[in-house]
Amino acid sequence: MAKNSNDFFSLLNNLFYKQNKEYDKKIFPAYMCSLWLSHDESLLDIIDDINELHFLLDDKVIYQYYYDMVPKGRRFLKWVKKEKSDEKENEKCAEWGISRLEYRRYKNLIKKEKML
């Protein structure tokens, strides 16, 4: 079976390599485009310029803006993954009756106090 030429990542690569592919709002909404592009610090100024107009403009207009403004070139966008919790953390949370988020906050506070 042939791979669809207009999937999410091919449209993202279209912004980087200027391949003149047709934009499809259902596959690649503008907010997802902004979300992925924001992982490259060199593009933050471009994204920030249009961010306040994000819900006023059509998705195709935003995509065309990114197509025109993002410099051509190769990029590596790393997606930040959720941290895995360890068994010790789960036991402490159950013992103290707190959430993992609260446990991590306490843990960070204790580390900071030890540094002082």
Three-state SS annotation for 36-99: HHCCCHHHHHHHHHHHCCCCCCCHHHHHHHHHHHCCCCCCCCCCCCCCCCCHHHHHHHHHHCCC
Please name the amino acid found at residue 56: L
Alpha-carbon span 75 to 43, nearest angstrom: 11
For residue 77, is it within any domain?
no
For residue range 8-67, list pLDDT tens digits in order: 888 888 888 888 888 888 888 888 888 888 888 888 999 999 988 888 999 999 989 999
- Shared domain check, 45 and 13: yes
Q: Give the dihedral of Cα atoms 48, 49, 53, 57; nearest 10 deg.
A: -110
Quick check: 46 and 69 in contact, CB under 8 A? Answer: yes
Name the residue range of residue 43's domain: 8-69
This prediction's pTM: 0.61
Let me know whether 23 and 59 are in one domain. Answer: yes
